[in-house]
Amino acid sequence: GSGIVAYSVSGPSHCAIGVDGSQADAKRKKVVVLGTGWAGTSFLKKLDSSIYDVRVVSPRNYFAFTPLLPSVTCGTVEARSIVEPIRNIIKKKAGEIIFLEAECFKIDPNSKKVHCRSTQKTDSVAKEEFIVDYDYLVVAMGARANTFNTPGVVEHCHFLKEIEDAQNIRRSVINCFEKANLPNLSEEERKKNLHFLVVGGGPTGVEFAAELHDFIEGDLSKLYPNVKDLVKITLLEAGDHILSVFDKRITAFAEEKFQRDGIDVKTGSMVVKVTDGAISTKERSTGQVASIPYGMVVWSTGIGTRPIITEFMQQIGQTNRRVLATDEWLRVEGCDGIYAMGDCATINQRKVMEDIAAIFKKADTDNSGTLTVKKLQGVVDDICERYSQFQLYLKNKKLKNIIDLLKESKGNDNKEAVELDIETLKLAFSQVDSQMKMLPATAQVAAQQGQYLARCFNVMDECEANPEGPLRFRGSGRHRFHPFRYKHLGQFAPLGGEQTAAQLPGDWVSIGHSSQWLWYSVYASKLVSWRTRVLVVSDWGRRFIFGRDSSRI
């Protein structure tokens, strides 16, 4: 095991250098990657960098395993255990990849340049700024926390998006206990300092509340016995239930467990204002406004658009959108040579009904004005691949294929006898677009997009000559690549007390201690390197033996 770890970590970098040196580099296309998050790092790991001139621009020189951020907030896992230097990742690639620690502040799609600013301060602004040219630009800059323009959130709340956020929360929790333990405070002041508010009942907010409860019950209550009975954790959710993206069985179990643990869950409660020391909420049902004193607030209510992405969308005419719109091949709509993935983008799926006339024309090979089963069978696979909503619709209707759908719409049991015109085809396909769904902004989606796009880049020249994708219904030939398809592998919701809820494909739901061990196994396997695996597993072992560290460093 040690030998495998050492070999995987110490692999030398191999630079692809042509016989004539610089001339080989000149022939390679320039690929610029913005961001070192899930999407960007997955892309870099799978990309054949020997055939491209790759530049990576990011204000942070590491990849962070963000699903474990709630564990960092309470010392279950140390911050450095879940980060991997990006240079450790790129040094193992065949071909040189240059990393630039800087922040991109402007994208110029017309001249194919990105304007960057170094995160290292120099004597003048001119020295800090530089320009990077590209042939292909991969935008994977992630997103920021969504405040919904609520007054006071930025000034008084903690977010949980970055390593620094988790470290700040950890220090703030200890500060609240140390402050409440001072002898010159009244009981009301102590209660206020030990009131922890979590805004947002999604997976991140719920996991943090559970981690904080375990930290307090398992460690801090022993170290601060005089104030342990004054601690209160409140979870605010604007919707009707927490964990609304999970199965109802998981939602019900989580709410019941939190009630048993003493975590106050307030659903239907919207935050309207945050001040220093108090938060104002409005009950959705009654409209009543209440003020709640607090010692610390963690804001976890979804994602918002970064300013540079907003500015870029205005440049390319995507002004009325929340994030960048791409097609099913992750190409930014309205741009040439620009791709986007992860939390900063969403796939704008093509509707079947928009192309129904083109589909009919492509299938009607003899221009007879009607379609038969034989004609349709020539394009059925291409239709299902091009329009992902078809598979979902057929699954929900419990139909095997499109032919069965047409047979059902015609009320005819004889497949061979099915013959239809364009109006009948429109009627049969009219409800298919109702199955279109937006992909969730999760690490799982971003990682799969990065892997997919890297594969497309690796076979780009080959697929230019021999396209592998579905038919172009509005044009001739085929698409170069297969469109991106997300494969959901399941999701976890740690609920504290060594219990986790797991929802896996096939509507398989498991809740309890066994799911917690499954969570340990999956997360350990998904870590980006053997180094981080060893560190995280050792942190878990240390916590089991010695408990969590409560020192404020």
- Listing DSSP states for 196-216 in one string gives EEEE--SHHHHHHHHHHHHHI
Q: Of the given ranges (137-146, 245-254, 405-414), which has the lowest mean pLDDT?
A: 405-414
Helix (H, G, I), strand (E, B) or coil at 30: strand
Q: Six-digit token pair at 193?
A: 């300092």
Q: Which CATH number fits domain 27-143+305-349+438-487: 3.20.20.70, 3.30.1130.10, 3.50.50.100, 3.30.390.30?
A: 3.50.50.100
Statement: residue 43 has pLDDT above 50? yes
pLDDT at 308 over 50: yes
Which tens digits make up the pLDDT trace of 235-293?
Answer: 999 999 999 999 999 999 999 999 999 999 999 999 999 999 999 999 999 999 999 99
- Provide the token pair at 497: 């007390």
Q: Which of 166-175, 210-219, 403-412 has the lowest mean pLDDT?
A: 403-412
Report pTM.
0.91
| Architecture of the structural domain at 355-435 | Orthogonal Bundle (1.10)
Residue ranges of alpha helices (H) inside 325-470 are 356-363, 373-377, 380-386, 389-396, 402-410, 422-429, 443-458, 460-465
Check pLDDT > 90 for residue 355.
Answer: yes
Is CATH 3.50.50.100 correct for 158-304+489-546? yes
- Provide the pLDDT for residue 24: 43
Q: Which of 346, 419, 423, 348 is nearest to 389 (CA)?
A: 348
User: What is 391-418 written as a DSSP string?
Assistant: HHHHHHTT-SSHHHHHHHHHT-S-GGG-
Query: How far apart are alpha carbons 231 and 363 in whole angstroms?
Result: 68
Domains 27-143+305-349+438-487 and 158-304+489-546 share a fold: yes
Domain ranges of the chain: 27-143+305-349+438-487, 158-304+489-546, 355-435
